[in-house]
Amino acid sequence: MAKFVDGTSHTFDEYLLIPRHTSEKCTPDRVSLKTPLVKYKKGTKPALSMNIPMVSAVMQAVSGDKLAVALAKEGGVSFIYGSQPIEKQAEMVYRAKRVKAGFVDSDSNLKPEDTLADVLELKEKTGHSTVAVTEDGTSAGKLLGIVTGRDYRISRMKPSLKVKEFMTPKSKLIYANEGATLSECNDIIWDHKLNSLPILDKKGRLVGMVFRKDYESHKEHPDELLDDTKRYIVGAGINSRDYEERIPALVDAGVDILCIDSSEGYSDWQKKTIEWTRKKYKNKVKIGAGNVVSAEGFRFLVKCGADFVKVGIGGGSICITRETKGIGRGQATSLIEVAKERDKYFKKTGIYVPICSDGGIVYDHHITLALAMGADFVMLGRYFARFDESPSERVNIGGTYYKEYWGEGSARARNWQRYDMGGKKGLSFEEGVDSYVPYAGALQDNVRASLAKVKSTMCNCGSLTIPQLQKNAVITLVSSTSIREGGAHDVIQKNKNISK
């Protein structure tokens, strides 16, 4: 007869936080959301930490290089999706790692033989008026000149006029050499009254741009997550199939941390992946593993050598693993059990292994609940899929904008490696759906709004840090009637679009 677990499996929506005493010093502006990303020994600092407790899911519709940079600017980490050819994923990591704080890749590039019509088309596509002219038309080619709005007049020039005829040539440009600091570049911009400054390597190839407008933008990101060379921290997802080829390519591209992407992580496949990584790279390459929903699964992955452990099976908005296979557990219950085991392991060994709550986050307050229940950070898919920076397309349906969002186990993604257990190649059945999510705009605005709520709630609980929240929080189960009572009820709400 099967073993039965006592008690009911619960979700975040079944819990509420009970307010604690809030002192005068407990204000949102004093709250720190810094949290460890990888394991560390008691009395030492983790090799990698984050300034906000948010990472993006390893999904085609979520984590590309643009989102990786945008999230790192806010203090979190994106795990660039691995369900693509190795070279393409490595290129995404490389592009994200090329971006320094204040330094950006040129996304508007043309060849000298291109025309004014090409300039106008590119400007319409990117929204940027500065175009780099390189030998091969790429952002890393040898710089030949720059085109800005001051170099042409549409009313007096033919659309067929070649770029080389009206660009400002390199000989007349002011530029900086690779290795110049951001401060030095900004000084050049201000001293010479420039709007942009190309950065060139020793061979004259374009390695980046610094823009006057980005000076203030850089100041607006006090929590940006940077490595020792002032480049953004970038993660990547891997599978337990082609890791011997994929991991070296990602490491060469500059990846900072890896995450084994699997719907169920309590397996020998993950053990072998971690063991191979440790044998080849020792502890230089950081690697997270998962997903698990029990103390037993956590202990297994920790023994394997995981740097962090993901918790959650079947709680994602596009995941149908529970429905299809009948495995999983309520996200809150899973997290509470694993967090207790994590603390027990820390007390016994002096090694703290961070846990990531993956799935089940529907509302912003669920993030705070997850942290209070023991999560060091949360992994979000649907949340980030809604933003400008995600890789999916924005579509207009009935006058409302949405973004496409699909699961890695859907027929569209066909990421069989995420669900494979050593069988033949191919997706035997679906464990995810293809869907839409409401378009929400820029990542920065939404993340800051969400974390403002988290900080406010932490103050209500008398906590200024995540460890304090985990120690001080008082949590209560609520009935279905209480959940209904918690929202607007027994009123007719006014149309929010009606101007007052």
Closest CA to 81 of 92, 72, 70: 92
* CA separation for the pair 122, 257 (Å, rounded): 34
From the candidates 95, 205, 386, 418, which is the catalytic residue?
A: 418
382 given a catalytic annotation? no
> Residue 31 corresponds to which tokens in the numbers above?
């709250």
From the candidates 185, 259, 304, 319, which is the catalytic residue?
A: 319
Rg, Å, the chain Cα set: 25
CB 8 within 8 Å of CB 479: no
Residue 187, SS3 per DSSP = helix
Helical packing angle, 268-281 and 295-304, nearest 10°: 30
CB 209 within 8 Å of CB 130: yes
- C-alpha to C-alpha distances, 263 to 87, 243, 267, 473, nearest whole angstrom: 24, 17, 11, 30
CB 142 within 8 Å of CB 156: no
The residue assigned the tokens 């066909």 is 414
* CA separation for the pair 148, 181 (Å, rounded): 25
* CA separation for the pair 141, 110 (Å, rounded): 10
418 given a catalytic annotation? yes
Instruction: Catalogue the active-site residues.
Output: 319, 418
